[in-house]
Homo-oligomer: A and B are copies of this chain.
Amino acid sequence: MRQKSAHYADLLKQKGLKSTPQRMAMLRIMEAKGHADIDEIYQEIKKDFVSISLATVYKNINTLLNDGIIQEIKVPHKKSKFEIAKHKHSHFVCERCGEVYDVQKPKKLDIELPEGFEPREASVLIVGLCKKCH
């Protein structure tokens, strides 16, 4: 824990962002949950910061997104989830419970693009049943 928090504080400082308790808590929540949507973050953080404003959560999500500290995962039929930005990986969404899991990225993708198209990044989303729901 000491490590992680220090890490986030440094990361924020690097980007010229203040490491406020609310912001750190949001990062810790995303860290702990792996993937969380706005409302989950808000409900969770309210346990520690009773009077935190939902606007603060949104503002922080946006600044953290802009600085690449977190990233958004858009999932079919559900609200966007946010996660701490990390090494590249793919996602698995359980169609029953909605949980998002990180899975390894495919070694290579054999998709042929038309002439003139320049890929920069690919993301894979697998939909299915997770261990619990299967």
Binding site for B on A (CB under 8 A): 72, 74-77, 90, 92, 95, 101, 103-107, 109-131, 134
Contacts and interface: CB of A to CB of B under 8 A. Distances in A.
A109 B109 contact: yes
B121 A126 contact: yes
Nearest to A77: B72
Nearest to A71: B76
Q: SS class of chain A's interface: helix, strand, loop or mixed?
A: loop
Given A117-B92, A117-B131, A119-B92, A126 B106 contact: no
A99 to B, nearest CB: 11
B128 A125 contact: no
Given A103-B113, A115-B131, A119-B128, 5 more contacts: A106-B110, A106-B111, A118-B134, A123-B127, A125-B125
A95 B120 contact: yes
23 contacts: A72-B76, A90-B111, A92-B117, A92-B119, A95-B120, A101-B114, A101-B117, A103-B111, A107-B110, A109-B109, A111-B126, A113-B126, A114-B131, A116-B130, A117-B134, A119-B127, A120-B127, A121-B126, A121-B127, A122-B124, A122-B126, A123-B126, A124-B124
